[in-house]
Every structure is written in structure tokens, then in C-alpha cells.
Structure 1
Amino acid sequence: MQELNHDLVVIGGGIIGVTCAWQLTQAGYRVLLLEKNEIGQGASFGNAGHIATEQVLPLASPAVLQQLPRMLLDPLGPLRLDWRYLPRIAPWLLKLVANMRPEAQRNSSAGLRLLNEASLSAWQQLLQQAGLNRLLKEDGSLLVCESESAFAELQRHAQVLGKLGISSDPWSAHTLRRQVGGLSPAVSGGLFFPATGHVTDPYQLVAQLFVQAQAAGMERQQADVHGGRCLDNGIELNTSKGKLFAKRVLVAAGAWSAPLVRELAGIKIPMDTERGYHLMLPAEPGRLPMAVSSLERKFIMTPMTGGLRLAGTVEFAGLHKTPDYRRAWGLVHHADALFERQLDTQGATPWMGCRPSLPDSLPVIDRVGPQGRLLLALGHHHLGLTQAAVTAQLILGLLSGKPSGLDIAPFRLARFGQLPPSHTLNHSVCLPGSEM
């Protein structure tokens, strides 16, 4: 068994793992990153690019329950549940229903607001330090609708968000067409969210942070971690390259995190996956000035350096089912309805990725196991890009014992049940040997 001399092993080469690795190497930690595939080729490659600070309402809502029959019957709907996967996901769905209680929804919204309020400033700080400001456009975003009744619904939505501290400006159809050219007359109004933005190339963001982390001393090994165990003096990892012994480990493996945590620590995390789709239109790089999403159609259009990305839909069908790319191509129909001129689909490419989802819509950001040697940054569902930089700050605080100033209580693993005594830890205590 190879004994590693690194301060921390990060498992996962997506936006969460790489951003954490970047943050820790900048702070002087010796980091080894393990990823079985190419860096940034999972869900981070194909996300919508939206820094979605306005999304503070959890997935668990009575509206989702009302849509269940449609979810089972419509294979191309915005929210889809493969009926063959229903027995497997049933326990997760029951937990989702439990989180529809008013108190649970308030707790989820409060936790999302806590992270999202700090997300944009965390990205600004990180990108300034990394010299990558060009990848972030802070032009705000739009949520549009196509009927007067839907515009009234938008206004009610704005009131709900306003009570949660999210500012928005109602835009009439006239204002919309003045600010965003080429929209269809069917678009009747929208909400403008000023404190949002978008990334012009999500893959390049991950790739550039990875290169910088390597330049700062991070090492990378292409290996699959398929098990291991927590010991009093470290963590044993079973990998495709043999056994490794690490002082501390951070699990940031996205939708594949839950089975790994169960193997390492015997802790079951109630995680499933939201399969998201996108269609990239390289012939449409200048169609929109900002990210625009649709209230009725439940998808988003984001301008990027590589074209216009149409993204959205939630499909519950597990990690291994073959993608149904009709869901990606179907986004063109919805997008065309929002424009006067049809989109150019020449060279368009579909994509599908698995997003890690927990029933309360909050991630797990924590440290568990003997002496807190196992760190966790997982379950960010469709907000991984939005929350990656602030998550990295929180992980640095947990590792160094110097709190970041953000309360991590809503994101602790213990919220899903009582952990064994050996897995609990006073989060104000500094880890042995972790001070720099």
C-alpha cells in the first residue's frame, strides 16, 4: 500500500473538486486529485453556465407532487420520471415529499439563500485572484413568460423571492424587446435578476483552474476510487491503481459520491441524480446578451463563446440509463417559440450529464469520521457551478480550523440522521497538524 505524503486527497475532477483543489493549493496545502475520467468532462462540462443566485426555492414543493402523473407519462416533459426507475427512487421520493412540509421548505430556502448570497462575490474574488475574470459576465439574467396570467404568476414569484431577500425588476413586453432584441411577440413580460451572471465557457473554467492548481503544486492521478475505509490515523483508499493511504480525503465526486461515502465511512447519504440535457448551437453566438429562462417551458438559454446553449429538463432515471437525446433536441422547439427568427441548428450537439441531488436541495459540506479526516462537498444538484467557489472557501475553513464566517450548520451530514459518535466532530476545533 502506497502511503501518500499529501495533506489532502480530493476525489472528483468536476467544478466542485477542482475549485476546492485550487483553493487549497493557493493556501499552501499539498493536494492530490484523483479522477477516473478527463478533468471537467462530467456534469461540469455541460451545465447551463448560469450563476443562479436567485434560485433559493427547493425542488421539493407541492407543485412537483401534482406533476407526478405527467412525469410518468410524458417522456419529453420538463420533469420526467422513468417509470422503470420508480422502485429504485421511491425511498428518495418519500424523503422529497417529507421536505414539502412548510418548516422543511423554509429551512431549505434559508440554506440556499445563505450559500447563494455569498456565491457571486466568492466567484468574483476567486476569478480576480486567478486572472480569469473574462469568463464571468455579470449582466444579470431574465425569467420570461408568454401570457398575461403567467406574468401575474411571475409577479407573485417576485414577491416570494423578495421576502427571501432576492431582488428582481418586473419588465413589461415593451421593456423586454427594448433590452433583448429579436424576442417573439408571444413573450409578454419577465423578471430581471440583476445580482446574477453567467460563465461564458464552463469547461474552460474547470480546465484553467486545474492547470493553475497543478502549477501551484497539486498532483493529479487518473484513477477510479471504488472503496476503502476510515482509520484512526488516516484513510485507506482502494483504487484502480492499487491501495493508497491518505491523511485526509475530500469526496467531491458529484453524483457518484454517495456509494463512495458509504464504502469509506458506512454512512448512507440519500442521494439520487437529476439527469440534465443541453443542446449547443455553435451558429448562434450572439443571439442573446444574457441568460434567459422560460417560466412555462422550464429551460434556459445562455450565450457562450462556443454559441448558444439550450439547457434544462430534469430526468430521474439513474446513473446508467442510455441518454434520451430527444430531450435535448426538443429544446429547439421551445426556444424557437421565444424568438421572431428561428434558431440556426447547424452543427448542434446534444449532451447529457448527471447532477447529484439530495431531497432537501441543499449540499453536504462537512467533515466526518475519526478526527474529521473525511471531508465532504457533494449534492449541489443543479447549483454546482453557482456554489463551487463558496464551497471551496468553506472546505478551506473546515480543513484549517479557521471558520469562513458562514454558518455550515444547514449543510452538515447529521441532518439526515444521527451519526455514530466516531463521526461527530466539534467544527470549531482545528484538525491536528492542519494549521499553516
Structure 2
Amino acid sequence: MTQASPDPKASSPTRAAADTGLDDADIAVVGAGVVGTACALELARQGLRVRVLDSDAPGMGASFGNAGHLATEQVFPIADASLLKRIPGMLMDPQGPLRLDWRYLPKATPWLMRLLWNLRSSPYRHSVAGIRALNEASLAAWQELLSSIGRLDLLCGHGSLLVHEKAETADALEASAARFAAQGVALERLSGEEVHRRVPELSERIRGGLFFPETGHVIDPHRVVQALVEAAEAAGVRFSRAVVQGGQADAGGVRLETSQGRLTVPRVLVAAGAHSAPLVTALTGVRVPLDTERGYHLMLPREVERLPMAVTSLERRFIMTPMAEGLRLAGTVEFAGLERPPRMERAWRLRELAQGMFSRHLDETDATPWMGFRPSLPDSLPVIDRTGPEGRVWLAFGHHHLGLTQAAITARLVGRFSSPERESTEMALPSLAPYRLARFAR
């Protein structure tokens, strides 16, 4: 994703940038991940001239390596009340499913304290309601978006499974089922025999599970972004490689300092994922408590047809998603910031977790690891808003591990900023109230 300046107050780079003047775009989108590209396409379809800026090729950030699961069932925040007692284990176990780098602890502590504050009853319910509102509209929004560009083949709407292996975890699975059901999440309880009937390759140790019929997965997240880019370019969107180093917004427009020079546009949409905070602060004055979940995956290219749907393990706490190029193992999370190098042993650890899930060994030949940055806010809700002088600063970031899931519905919401009248003629959209930037301005 687009890297912003470490100092959000620095509105100009060290060396004077060339002034490229007033761009002919109506809006610049900063970030060419799945959220940014989906928004760019939506805005172009409404007649806006759109320019997308990113330091990398489209879809090469977190969008490249996500689990591919359209996780509409995941309506709960990224942590619960058990987090506090788990912090020592997060610090001590470098291979645990949730790791906190002890060197990053001083910087992470304010964010963690805000996270814990949001686990109180009232804000927690508020977060659940906000996540659920987006998720309930997400699958239909994706189906409509991909259908509109003739690429519905990229989406598999076969549902997904959460399975368990141990007798002692049956109660935990049932408790999860009750929590999901209480939030209106559609599910079916399956016995071990029923799980094996649907997914014969799973180990006989699987004792049962939950099937979520209103979920799905994409066959390749990067292909999805590429398809959106092709459709966006056909609609007139221009994609440019540039680092956005700072900016300023006022009644006259938005001036962006980039590695290619100074750019002036009427509006900007910040959709730069985990790198959004410095630019948001420069443009709005609001310091957003944005951190990152460093997510890892391991891709097994020789396992193309092992699973028919995404499968998550309750005990092992990871997910396996079938894709066009193989089987993707994902789910391990690390809090270590944006600067530290990846610990790829965490990705390789996923193969050990996966081997016990199947009736026969996985083929690990040519397996490839990956790490990316998921943008995380302490209330587990994204920022989707129109703000700044005369509403010139538009925002769509902070979706944590639901960026892919919520990208299409986020694009629909951003589209409301330029065409609010569409709300009355098309599908009902969630209220923007839970996702406003102002919640961090206090």
C-alpha cells in the first residue's frame, strides 16, 4: 500500500517537489488495494474523473495475501475480554497464533489500552452492531460488483466451515454457535459424519463443526483486484505509481506532496490501509489510533483441489482456503508495527497446523510464505467518512482482517458521498454513523 510520511505534519518533502499544478481528476484515491480500486471503479461509474496513487502496483499490499474468505460471519471485534490474561503468552510465545513483539510493546500500549476500553459492554455492542451492518450487506455487494464486470467466476459462494477435533472443545463450539446465532448469523450445526460428507479430505479426528451458508471465498484476491483495475481503467480511471508524502486540504482544494511532484485536486479519498494515519492527520488534524495486524500466509501450489470451501480450525486457530493457484493457509497474527522485518517462520508454522487436519499428507512442494499489514483500529470498525474543508477529504480505511469482505460495500458507501440520491433507488445501505472519523477527534 502507499507509504505516507513518518511525520504527518511535514507537508513537503526534504527536496522541493515539482509543482504539477491542478490535476484534471475530480478526485485522487490514495491506495490501490481492494478497497481503493473498488471505490475508484464506483466513483468513475458516477462520472467522476479518478486518479489512483500507490507506491506499488495495484493489489500488491495486504490485498495480495489475505485469506480470501468473505467472512460475513465474523461480526465480533478483533479481541474480547480474555485478551488481558493472554498478553504474557503473546509476549513469550513467538510462534503462537497471536503474538506481540516485546520490542513493540511500548508503542503498542496506548493502542492496546484503547482496545481494552472498547471491550466494555456498551462500546463492544456498538462495535458488533457496526461490523454486522457492513457484513450483512457484503456478500450481495460483492456478487453485484463482480457480476457487473463479468467476473462472477472469481467468487465461490459455497459457504465455509468452522470445525473442532477434541471432545473438550464441543462446549466452546456450541458457545460460539450461540453467540453467532444471537447476532443473526445463519449457521448449521454439523456432526463429524456430516462434516466428512461435505469435505471428505478432512481427518477423521474432526468431531463436528458449524457451516455458515451465507459466506464464501474468492479464488485469488490478487486476480480480484486486477479485474477491478481493468474495469476501472475501461471507465477512465488512471493508476499512477507514486509515494504520497503529505498533504493539505482547504477550501481551495487538496494539495498532495508525492514522489512525482505536488498534485492539486478538488477531493481526495484516503484508502491506504495500514499506512493511512499520517496522511489523515495531515489533511484533517485528527490523530487516528491506527495500528497493524501483521498477517501471514503459506501458499501450497500443489493442493489445488483439496477443499471445496474455506475451513477454519477452532483449536488451531487458522484458516485454509482453496484457490485457483493452490491451498492458502492463513490466520496467524502479529503485533510488531510497520518497520520490523517479517518473521517468516510464523508462515511456515502453518504447514504443521494444517497437516493434522487431513486424512492424507499435504504436498508442500514449492510452498511460498507471505506477510502483509492489516489496518486495525481499537474499536474494530473502519473509518468511512466525508470530512475536511467543504467535505473534500474522503476516507475508507481501517477494515482490519475484513478488508476483502467489506470492500464492495465500502465502495457503495463511498459512492454515496458524490451521489446521495442513489440510496433511495438501490439496495439499502448501512448508516455511516458508526464509521465517522469524529469518534477519534475527542
TM over 0.5: yes
* Residue 140 of structure 2: aligned partner: 121
Shift of 1:402: 3.0
Q: CA deviation at 1:403?
A: 6.1
- Alignment correspondent of 1:423: none
Give the structure 2 partner of residue 413 of structure 1: 437
Counterpart position of 1:328? 347
Q: Comparing 347-356 with 405-414, which one deviates more in the overlay? A: 405-414
Question: How far, CA to CA, are the matches of 1:319 and 1:313 in structure 2?
Answer: 16
Deviation at 1:400, TM superposition (A): 2.3
Q: 1: CA distance between counterparts of 2:47 and 2:170?
A: 51
Is the 1:277–1:328 contact (alpha carbons within 8 Å) kept by the matching residues of 2?
yes
Q: How does 1:26-425 map to 2 (within 5 A)?
A: 26-402=45-421, 404=423, 405-418=429-442
Which amino acid in the other structure matches residue 251 of structure 1?
V
How many residue pairs match? The answer is: 418
Alpha-carbon deviation of 1:262? 1.2
Separation of aligned partners in 2, 1:267 and 1:208: 34
Contact 1:60-1:359 within 8 A present in 2 as well: no
Is the CA contact (8 Å cut-off) linking 2:165 and 2:205 kept in structure 1? yes
Determine helix, strand or coil for the equivalent of 1:181.
coil
Structure 2 Cα separation of the partners of residues 28 and 278 of structure 1: 38
**Aligned-partner Cα distance in 2 for 1:291–1:301:** 6
Instruction: Give the secondary-structure state (helix, strand or coil) at the position aligned to 2:136.
Output: helix
| 1:146 positional shift | 1.1
Deviation at 1:70, TM superposition (A): 0.5
Does the CA-based 8 Å contact 1:60-1:360 persist in structure 2? no
Post-superposition offset of 1:219: 1.1
- State the distance in 2 between where 1:152 and 1:173 align: 15
CA distance in 2, matches of 1:66, 1:338: 28
Q: Give the % identical residues.
A: 54
Is the 1:367–1:398 contact (alpha carbons within 8 Å) kept by the matching residues of 2? yes
Q: 1-side partners of 2:333 and 2:279: how far apart? A: 24
Cα deviation, 1:76-98, whole Å, max 9, x if unaligned, reads 10000000000011110000010
Please say if residues 300 and 366 of structure 2, whose CA atoms lie closer than 8 Å, have aligned partners that are also in contact. yes
Counterpart residue type for residue 117 of structure 2: A
Letter of the 1:411 counterpart: Y
Amino acid of the residue matched to residue 359 of structure 1?
A: P
Task: Report deviation, 1:239.
Answer: 0.4
Please give the alpha-carbon distance, in whole angstroms, between the structure 2 residues aligned to 1:339 and 1:184.
4
Contact 1:255 1:357 in 2 (8 A): yes
Partners in 2 of 1:148 and 1:105 — Cα distance?
A: 30
**CA contact 1:60–1:99 (8 Å) conserved in 2:** no
Q: CA deviation at 1:406?
A: 2.1
1:52–1:383 CA contact under 8 A, matched in 2: yes
Shift of 1:399: 2.4
- For 1:309, what is the secondary structure of its paired residue? strand
Q: 2:134 corresponds to which letter in structure 1?
A: L
Residue 415 of structure 1 aligns with an amino acid whose one-letter code is R
State the Cα distance separating 1:256 from its structure 2 match. 0.2
Superposition deviation, residue 242 in structure 1 = 0.8
Determine if contact 1:169/1:192 at 8 Å carries over to the other structure: yes
Q: Deviations over 1:258-308 (max 9, x none)?
A: 111112222100100000000000000010010000111111000000000
Question: Which amino acid letter does the alignment assign opposite residue 412 of structure 1?
Answer: R
1:64 CA displacement = 1.8
Contact 1:284 1:307 in 2 (8 A): yes
1: CA distance, partners of 2:415 / 2:440: 23
Aligned partners of 2:422 and 2:314: how far apart in 1? 38
Give SS of 1:289's match.
Answer: coil
Alignment partners' CA distance in 2, 1:193 and 1:151: 17
Q: 1:416, CA displacement in angstroms?
A: 1.9
Runs of 5+ unmatched residues, structure 1:
419-436
Structure 2 Cα separation of the partners of residues 158 and 355 of structure 1: 27
Give deviations 1:127-150, integer Å, cap 9, x for gaps: 111101000000000001111221
Tell me, in whole angstroms, the C-alpha distance in 2 between the residues paired with 1:411 and 1:127: 25
**CA deviations over 1:18-55 (Å, ceiling 9, x no partner):** 01001111222110111111111000000000000000
The DSSP-based 3-state class of the residue aligned with 1:5 is coil
Aligned with 1:328: secondary structure? helix
Which residue pairs with 2:14 in the alignment?
none
Q: Which residue of 1 aligns with 2:11?
A: none
- Mapped contact 1:367–1:375 kept (Cα < 8 A): yes
**Deviation string, structure 1 residues 330-372 (Cα, Å, up to 9, x no partner):** 0011111111111100010000000000001110000111111
Q: Does the residue aligned with 1:313 lie in a helix, a strand or coil?
A: strand
Q: Check the 8 A contact 2:62/2:374 in 1, yes or no.
A: yes
Give, in whole Å, the separation in 1 of the partners of 2:357 and 2:268.
46
The Cα shift of 1:213 comes to 0.5
C-alpha contact 2:186 2:213 (8 A) present in aligned 1? yes
Does the 8 A contact of 2:286 with 2:441 survive in 1? no
1:9 aligns with 2:28: yes
User: For 2:112, what is the secondary structure of its paired residue?
Assistant: helix
Aligned amino acid, residue 396 of structure 1:
G
